[in-house]
Amino acid sequence: MSKRRLERVQDAVHGLMKFRGMETAVIRLLETRELQRLRRISQLGLASLVYPGAEHSRHAHSLGTAYLAIRFGRQLQDAAVEFLPPLMHPGPVEIRDLAIAALCHDLGHGPFSHTWEDQCIGKRDFDSKRDQWAEQFGMNSEDCKELKWHEIVGRGLLLWPGGDLHNRLKEHDESMPRRIQALLGGGYHVPYLSRLLSSDIDVDRGDFLLRDAIQCGVSYGRYDLEWLLSCVTLGYYNDNVVIGFDLSKSRRVIEEFALAHRAHYETVYFHHTVKSAELMLGLFFKRLKWLARERREDLERRFPRHASIITIAAGDVLGPEQVLELDDVLLWSFLSEVAKTPREPDDILCDLAWRLLQRNLFKAIELPRAESSLPLPTNEMLVEQGLRLVSPRTGRKLTREEFREYYLCPFNQDRDILSTKDHDCGFFIDTTRPDRPAIMIQRDREFRALRTMSITTSRIYVPREVRDEAKKILSSRRTAE
């Protein structure tokens, strides 16, 4: 559509990003309100409370991902010419579609990104409302059984007739919205391209590993992007064409990539203070959901500008127009409004909001893995000390149940470095053989250690005024055992 055949954007990660010809559609789509909303969604949620430079947005990451998709797509053009029939080549149209899909891959994220989905929407609550969310966004519920909340919302926005993005895509051609959705869902007419958007080695991780490292100011989490690009190629796995990396050249850069992924989770995403803020926001929403069931009308009257947040807390679903209101600004302003008075609408809700705003965060106590399954929240000595030392700003004495529910928070997390699912795995391609066989990275002999490598974290979080007493109690329990 655009008469301009070259667009340039200066980026902190990729330098001068150039979009040529059909690729310039990416830049025009940035003007839509669906993409503009991502400027107000932080890429790393609450991580800026620990890493002050981590203020970058989903918008910057999405644009960087689209640029990487173009660069990888161009490399695959050269690889496909060697042995694939023309219909299987990624031409300018396919590379444009791939870039747009990469641009829109995070379209459905809510405030604070994954924190919103994990702590505010909640997996259990979402599973019970999955079909209703799908219906609100014009999606077939049968196609949404495996999708996360942000995936349903994002793909639904692509098909929403009232949206700027949908109509801008249709200006290119009528079928483009569904083609982009199909590419994100693995149903594109050049099927191997979808793996570039979702696998162990994809353009999403390719951008955020570098971007998050630069913005957080950490040296780990980086890898040799140029070498990785030079190694991407095509091969066959179970008679299907798949994207992979030249076996003879890429082992070290793939290892570097996987270890960069691990480093970020250990030191940024699972940082004890970052996780504290995320869990506290979850506790805030847990309390809000309880209040919304009991006093919804009162909450909506008191906070009319934040009706969309209260609607979700009450267990109802939102439509596209309301979802476009959800961003970091709205959630921070809601926390600020709630924290203004220590009693209304609820003292525990106000206290949690105030602690988040003041960065008065719960403190982590690391636990040996053997203790992670023990019933710490019901430890009577810990509860007794908590009741003595913690009270909301009203000065009211908490009940035992309230302390256990909102001021004592265990956290256990396991994450594999490489996927255990075949459809998400990456491949090595043996380019020395004419049949170009693909080998799962996890099954390569040099990657046995990475295959079983996981990040395991076990902690308990308590208010800072309880930390010292909690450490003594947990230490004495270990000594007694």
pLDDT score of 469 more than 90: no
- Cα of first residue to Cα of last residue in the chain, in angstroms, is 71
Angle at 147 between CA 319 and CA 70, to 5 degrees: 95
pLDDT score of 445 more than 90: no
Where does CATH 1.10.3210.10 sit in the chain? 6-269
Structure confidence by residue, pLDDT tens digits, 321-348: 999 999 999 999 999 999 998 888 999 9
Nearest alpha-carbon partner for 252 in 226, 271, 227:
227
pLDDT score of 219 more than 90: no
Question: Mean pLDDT across the stretch 113-122?
Answer: 91
Is residue 197 within 8 Å of residue 184, measured between CB atoms?
A: yes
Predicted confidence at residue 369, as pLDDT, reads 59
**Strand partners for 19:** 7
* Locus of tokens 């004419």: 434
Is it true that the peptide bond before 434 is cis, omega within 30 degrees of 0? no
Angle at 465 between CA 461 and CA 467, to 5 degrees: 45
CA separation for the pair 188, 98 (Å, rounded): 10
The pair of structure tokens assigned to 47 is 């991580």
Structure confidence at residue 378 as a pLDDT band (50, 70, 90): very low
CA separation for the pair 154, 62 (Å, rounded): 13
Question: Mean pLDDT across the stretch 61-81?
Answer: 96
Predicted confidence at residue 380, as pLDDT, reads 79
Secondary structure in 3-state letters for the chain: CCCCCEEEEEECCCEEEEEEHHHHHHHHHCCCHHHHHHHHCECCCCHHHCCCCCCCEHHHHHHHHHHHHHHHHHHHHHHHHHHCCHHHCCCHHHHHHHHHHHHCCCCCCCCCCHHHHHHHHCHHHHHHHHHHHHHHCCCCHHHHCCCCHHHHHHHHHHHCCCCHHHHHHHHHCCCHHHHHHHHHHCCCCCHHHHHHCCCCCCHHHHHHHHHHHHHHCCCCCCCCHHHHHHHEEEEEECCEEEEEEEHHHHHHHHHHHHHHHHHHHHHHHCCHHHHHHHHHHHHHHHHHHHHHHHHHHHHHHHCHHHHHHHHHHCCCCCCHHHHCCCCHHHHHHHHHHHHCCCCCCCHHHHHHHHHHHCCCCCEEEECCHHHCCCCHHHCHHHHHHHHHHCCCCCCCCCCHHHHHHHCCEEEEEEEECCCCCHHHCCEEECCCCCCCEEEEHHHCHHHHHHHHCEEEEEEEEECCCCHHHHHHHHHHHHHHC
* Locus of tokens 């989905």: 117
pLDDT score of 123 more than 80: yes
pLDDT score of 372 more than 50: no
pLDDT score of 375 more than 80: no
CA separation for the pair 260, 222 (Å, rounded): 6
Predicted confidence at residue 56, as pLDDT, reads 96
Question: Mean pLDDT across the stretch 184-205?
Answer: 94
Is residue 68 within 8 Å of residue 207, measured between CB atoms?
A: yes
Predicted confidence at residue 478, as pLDDT, reads 53
Predicted confidence at residue 319, as pLDDT, reads 96
pLDDT score of 1 more than 60: no
Structure confidence by residue, pLDDT tens digits, 256-268: 999 899 889 889 9
pTM: 0.93
Predicted confidence at residue 383, as pLDDT, reads 86
Predicted confidence at residue 421, as pLDDT, reads 76
Structure confidence by residue, pLDDT tens digits, 285-320: 999 999 999 999 999 999 999 999 999 999 999 999
The pair of structure tokens assigned to 296 is 């919804």
Is residue 436 within 8 Å of residue 244, measured between CB atoms?
A: no
Q: Is the backbone of residue 471 left (phi > 0), alpha (psi -120 to 50) or beta?
A: alpha
Q: Is the backbone of residue 368 left (phi > 0), alpha (psi -120 to 50) or beta?
A: beta
* CATH architecture of the domain with residue range 6-269: Orthogonal Bundle (1.10)
Question: Mean pLDDT across the stretch 171-177?
Answer: 92
pLDDT score of 422 more than 80: no
Is residue 340 within 8 Å of residue 333, measured between CB atoms?
A: no
Structure confidence by residue, pLDDT tens digits, 242-251: 999 999 999 9
Structure confidence by residue, pLDDT tens digits, 396-414: 889 999 999 999 988 888 7
Instruction: Classify burial at 367, counting beta carbons within 10 Å of its beta carbon; exposed 0-12, middle 13-18, buried 19 or more.
Output: buried
Q: Which residues neighbour 278 within 8 Å (Cβ) at sequence distance 6 or greater?
A: 45, 46, 112, 115, 118, 119
Residue 277: Cβ within 10 Å count: 24
Predicted confidence at residue 377, as pLDDT, reads 44
Average pLDDT of the chain? 91
The pair of structure tokens assigned to 450 is 């990475």
Percent of residues, the chain, with pLDDT higher than 90: 72
Predicted confidence at residue 376, as pLDDT, reads 53
By mean pLDDT, which of 94-103, 120-129, 362-371 is the weakest? Answer: 362-371
